[in-house]
Chains A and B, each alone.
Chain A
Amino acid sequence: MEALTARISQLDSLPCISEHFVPLLQSLNDSECGKDLVGRLIATDPQLSLIVLQQANSALRATQVPASSVVQAVMRLGFVELKRIVIAHYALIVAEGGRGWGLDRQSSWLGAYAGAVAAAKIASMTGAAAPDVCYTAGLLRDCGKLAMDRLLHPEAITTLLESRAATGSAIELERKAFGFDHAQAGAALAQRWSLPSKLCTAIGNHHGPLVDDGISNIVQCADAVAVSMGLGLGLDGLRYNSHGEALRSVGITRNDFEELCMETLESCGQAFQFLDLGSPE
């Protein structure tokens, strides 16, 4: 794991997630939180600041006096709109990954978003963890695909997954072929991004084993919801074997699982409308 972390640290072409991402999402979920603090947190990420300013000054929202600072933009957009923008922005970063798994940007984005929504719903349903933390972990769970696309050639991953001899769990195949899998690569990348350790753990264990930390098993369940519906499904298909135990461990019933699938699909459709990405396929 240390060797993998070192290899990922040496990559210079990886997109960056601000270390203030988690506090920013938490602030946006807190109606008592001041707009100044939110503005300062957004300002730590130049790319996000630019998007927020562009949105605040778009034809839809522009006034005679343009928003010239991030705080002014925050005041104009409001927390609900800002949260959508922030989540879409970071999900798009994660969606840069997955080429080796045969995923285009839209499919990767959909998989990330579906996992986030499902994780937050499971957390709310079970009360086992904070929904916003589970949302973030679900959103970022496959970020290791981004790291592996850069560490290896995506073609190498594609060749492995397309092979007729490639039977068994996709995680085991990756580990056997490359010495590590995308969950482990994700944990290492999350460390590089200085994300909280509980998120690194959940990302690293989103395909098992069970971890008694409240978050990891929920993220495994969220992954089961997303892949069952085919959201973010690539060449790895449904070749994962840890989901049943995770669903049982958090107390999800068959009816819960089906309801989660339907509600997650509905949320994905709404998000696609907001982002003008067409409709989920």
Chain B
Amino acid sequence: MSPATTPNQLQLVVGIADMKLGKGPSTVMTTHALGSCIGLTIYDPVTSIGGLLHFMLPAPRDEDHSTVRGPAMFATTGVPALFMEGYKLGASKERLIVCAAGAAELMMSDSDFQIGRRNRTMLRKLFWKNGVVLAGEDMGGTDARTLSIDLSDGTVRIRTRLGESTLWKP
């Protein structure tokens, strides 16, 4: 399920509840098998700084919870951490291109266990509060997704059982 890369490209894999940032042009970041989790990419086209977060749950129950589990586990801690780390590297909020994929759902009506839906709601809430607009998204449904970002130009691709598609490209 990994996207094709050229021999000189550095392929970084982002695990579950994990986050990576870097600077182009020869880096491709990929996160595999997004189920209910969400993969979030940021990219600054001027500095070629980008990052990928794979968070699993909407929010920790309390502050201790996120300290123990790590910020990348949750939307409410992972999303700010991704943006802050990007700014530290030199990215600018005004230029950031933000894409999201994942938040798939099990086929059940019981909303209590619909982690994907709650992840999606939390992400939208965070972005609405902070004035962030998604440039590309592919969320919901029942399919697993693999998400990648190419830091040479910020192209974001997703792969599902139906094949590969481009979520954003310059």
Contacts and interface: CB of A to CB of B under 8 A. Distances in A.
A212 interface: no
A240 B157 CA distance: 26
A281 B116 CA distance: 18
B112 A238 contact: no
Interface stretch (B79-87, B103-111, B121-129, B130-138): B103-111
A241 B107 contact: yes
B115 A230 contact: no
Contact of A261 (B31, B34, B110, B115): B115
A28 interface: no
A253 interface: yes
Given A229-B35, A281-B32, A247 B161 contact: no
Interface string B15-41: 111000000000000011111110000
A241 B105 CA distance: 10
B73 A243 contact: no
Nearest to A228: B36
Interface stretch (A1-9, A32-40, A161-169, A177-185): A161-169
B37 A230 contact: yes
B100 interface: no
A102 B146 CA distance: 13
B144 interface: yes
B110 A229 contact: no
B95 interface: no
A256 to B, nearest CB: 10
B166 interface: no
A162 B162 contact: yes
B88 interface: no
Contacts of A238: 35-36, 104-107, 116, 142-144
Contact of A231 (B33, B104, B110, B142): B33
Q: How large is the interface on A (under 10, 10 to 19, 20 to 34, 35 or more residues)?
A: 35 or more
- The majority secondary structure among interface residues of chain B is loop
A229 B106 contact: no
A280 B144 contact: no
A190 B32 CA distance: 30
Contacts of B116: 228, 238
A238 B36 CA distance: 9
Contacts of A175: none
A261 B104 CA distance: 15
Given A162-B162, A237-B144, A244 B108 contact: yes
A100 B141 CA distance: 21
Nearest to A158: B161
Contacts of B113: 224, 228, 243-244, 247, 254, 257
Contacts of B98: none
A31 interface: no
B49 interface: no
Contacts of B162: 162, 164
Nearest to A168: B107
Contact of B69 (A227, A235, A262): A262
Contact of B112 (A227, A229, A240, A254): A254
Contact of B106 (A228, A231, A255): A228
A201 interface: no
Contact of A230 (B33, B61, B73, B108): B33
A230 B34 contact: yes
18 contacts: A162-B161, A224-B106, A230-B36, A230-B37, A231-B16, A233-B35, A235-B144, A237-B104, A237-B142, A238-B104, A243-B113, A247-B113, A258-B57, A261-B57, A262-B57, A262-B69, A265-B16, A280-B16
Interface of A: 102, 107, 161-162, 164, 169, 224, 227-231, 233-235, 237-245, 247-248, 253-255, 257-258, 261-262, 265, 279-281
